[in-house]
C-alpha cells in the first residue's frame, strides 16, 4: 500500500482492540442497531468464513445456521456499530477462506477445535 | 488563492460521524510552487502558473530547467495555470493544501479519464443492443441499428452517436465535498470518485 494511504488509514484506524480471529473460528459479534432514535444491542454468533481487505477497509464474513437456512453477514472491522467481539472457539482449518462450508450440513459442517 | 495541483493516490472508505460508510478518494495535493506570474501588460491576460511534483534535472530539458530556476526551484513534472489576479503571490511562493483549502468545503477536480480504447455503442453510449439472439439475428447483438432516415436527408446528422475512442478525456467533476485535510502530509480526502487512474495528475479548483 502507498505511504499516503497508510497515513490515511492511521488517521482513521482501530478505535478498539478486538481479539485475534480468522477463518474457522466461532465468534460472537455484538453490534448496535438503530431503530428510529433508539439504540439496542444484538449479537450474532457464527463461523468466520474469511477476512478480506486491508487497513480501514478490512471486513470479515460470518455465517450461522438459523434453523435450516444459512445466514451470512459481512461486517467492516472498523464499523462504529460493533460493540464487542468474543471468540468462542478457535477452529482448525487448512485454508484462509472456507467457502466449502456453505455446501456442508449436519455432521460434515463441523470444524475441529484447535489445540494449543 | 488559486487552486492546486495534485495526484490521485487511490480510493478507500471512511465511517463518518453518523456511522455512514463514505467512499472517499485520497489525493496528494501540493506543495505547489509559483513559477510564473502573467500580467495583462506583458502576456495579454492575468494568470498565475504553478508547478507540482519534483523531477530530476537530468530528466528535464534545459529550457525547462531555466524556467524553474527563475522561481528558484527544482524542475517539476506538472505545470498549470490559474486565471486571475493574485496580488499576494510572488515568484517562488509555495502553496500548501492546508492554507489554500482552509476555508473551503467544496471543490472542483479536473483530470483525464482512464482510456478505454475503441469501443462500440453499447459500452460507449449505453445503447441496449439487439435484445434477442434469436429471430434471425446471428451477428449483430451489439449493433447500433438505424443511423437515420433514407432519401431525406440523405446523410447522417452530425453528432450521431457511434463507435469510437472512449475515455482519455479531460473531465471536470464539480462540487465534490472535502472530507478531511491532513496538511502535514499534503493529503486531501474528498467524497466520491475523481477521474483518472491512480497516480494521474489532477487540477483542484476552488
Q: B98 and B162 in one domain?
A: no
Q: B92 and B12 in one domain?
A: yes
Residue B12: predicted pLDDT: 87
CB B36 within 8 A of CB B92: no
Compute the average pLDDT of residues A89-109: 89
Q: B94 and B30 in one domain?
A: yes
Residue A15: predicted pLDDT: 61
Q: Do A57 and B180 touch (CB under 8 A)?
A: no
Other CB atoms within a 10 A radius of the CB of residue B95 amount to 23
Compute the average pLDDT of residues A94-104: 91
Residue A14: predicted pLDDT: 62
**DSSP one-letter string for B106-128:** EEEEEEEPPP-EEE-HHHHH---
Residue B20: predicted pLDDT: 85
Residue B202: predicted pLDDT: 93
Q: B184 and B141 in one domain?
A: no
Number of structural domains found in chain B: 2
Residue B95: predicted pLDDT: 87
Distance between CA atoms of residues B15 and A14, nearest Å: 12
- Determine what percent of chain A is predicted with pLDDT higher than 70: 97
Q: In the beta sheet, which residues pair with residue B173? A: B109
Q: Do B13 and A57 touch (CB under 8 A)?
A: yes
pTM to 2 decimals? 0.81
Could you tell me the residue range of the domain that residue B59 belongs to? 4-115+171-205
* A35 inside 8 A of chain B by CB: no
- What is the mean pLDDT of each successive set of 10 residues along chain B, which is 206 residues long? 88 84 89 89 90 89 89 89 85 84 88 94 90 78 87 92 93 91 87 92 90
Residue B159: predicted pLDDT: 92
* B197 inside 8 A of chain A by CB: no
Q: B149 and B48 in one domain?
A: no
Q: B161 and B91 in one domain?
A: no
Q: B147 and B63 in one domain?
A: no
Q: Please tell me the distance in Å from A62's CA to the nearest CA on chain B.
A: 19
Residue B125: predicted pLDDT: 93
Q: B131 and B34 in one domain?
A: no
Residue A16: predicted pLDDT: 67
Ramachandran bin of A67, using left for φ above 0, alpha for ψ from -120 to 50, beta for the remaining angles: left
Q: For residue range B18-63, list pLDDT tens digits in order.
A: 788 899 999 998 788 999 888 888 889 999 999 998 888 888 899 9
Residue B121: predicted pLDDT: 93
Q: B198 and B104 in one domain?
A: yes
Q: B101 and B64 in one domain?
A: yes
Task: Give the closest of B10, B19, B182 to A2, CB-based.
Answer: B10
CB B2 within 8 A of CB B196: no
Q: Do B189 and A9 touch (CB under 8 A)?
A: no
Q: Is the pLDDT of residue A79 over 80?
A: yes
Residue B112: predicted pLDDT: 94
- The cell numbers describing B181, all together, are 485535510
CATH of the domain at B58: 3.30.160.810
User: In chain A, whose CA is at the least distance from the CA of B27?
Assistant: A4
Q: Do B180 and A11 touch (CB under 8 A)?
A: yes
Q: For residue range A10-60, list pLDDT tens digits in order.
A: 777 766 678 888 898 999 999 988 888 888 999 999 999 999 987 788 899
Q: Do A4 and B187 touch (CB under 8 A)?
A: yes
Q: B98 and B153 in one domain?
A: no
Q: B138 and B96 in one domain?
A: no
Amino acid at each position: 500500500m502507498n505511504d499516503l494511504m497508510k497515513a490515511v488509514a492511521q488517521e482513521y484506524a482501530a478505535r478498539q482492540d478486538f481479539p485475534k480471529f480468522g477463518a474457522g473460528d466461532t465468534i460472537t459479534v455484538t453490534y448496535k442497531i438503530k431503530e428510529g432514535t433508539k439504540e439496542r444491542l444484538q449479537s450474532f454468533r457464527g463461523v468466520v468464513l474469511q477476512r478480506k481487505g486491508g487497513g480501514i477497509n478490512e471486513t470479515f464474513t460470518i455465517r450461522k445456521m438459523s434453523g435450516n437456512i444459512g445466514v451470512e453477514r459481512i461486517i467492516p472491522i472498523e464499523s462504529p456499530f460493533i460493540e464487542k467481539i468474543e471468540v468462542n472457539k478457535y477452529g482448525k482449518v487448512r485454508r484462509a477462506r472456507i467457502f466449502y462450508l456453505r455446501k456442508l450440513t449436519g455432521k460434515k459442517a463441523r470444524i475441529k477445535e484447535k489445540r494449543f | 488563492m488559486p487552486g492546486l495541483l495534485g495526484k490521485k493516490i487511490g480510493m478507500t472508505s471512511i465511517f463518518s460521524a453518523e456511522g455512514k460508510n463514505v467512499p472517499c478518494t485520497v489525493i496528494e495535493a501540493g506543495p505547489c510552487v509559483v513559477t510564473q506570474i502573467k500580467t495583462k501588460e506583458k502576456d495579454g491576460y492575468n494568470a498565475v502558473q504553478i508547478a507540482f511534483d519534483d523531477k530530476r534535472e537530468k530528466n528535464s530539458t534545459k529550457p525547462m530547467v531555466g524556467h524553474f530556476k527563475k522561481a528558484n526551484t527544482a524542475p517539476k513534472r506538472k505545470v498549470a495555470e490559474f486565471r486571475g489576479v493574485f496580488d499576494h503571490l510572488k515568484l517562488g511562493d509555495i502553496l500548501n493544501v492546508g492554507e489554500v483549502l482552509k476555508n473551503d468545503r467544496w471543490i472542483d477536480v479536473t483530470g483525464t479519464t482512464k482510456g478505454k480504447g475503441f469501443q462500440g455503442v453499447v459500452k460507449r453510449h449505453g445503447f441496449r443492443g439487439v435484445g434477442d439472439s434469436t429471430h434471425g439475428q446471428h451477428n449483430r447483438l451489439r449493433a447500433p441499428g438505424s443511423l437515420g432516415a433514407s432519401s431525406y436527408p440523405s446523410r447522417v446528422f452530425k453528432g450521431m452517436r457511434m463507435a469510437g475512442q472512449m475515455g482519455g478525456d479531460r473531465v471536470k467533476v464539480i462540487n465534490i465535498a472535502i472530507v478531511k485535510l491532513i496538511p502535514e502530509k499534503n493529503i486531501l480526502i474528498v467524497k466520491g470518485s475523481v477521474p483518472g487512474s491512480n497516480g494521474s495528475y489532477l487540477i483542484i479548483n476552488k
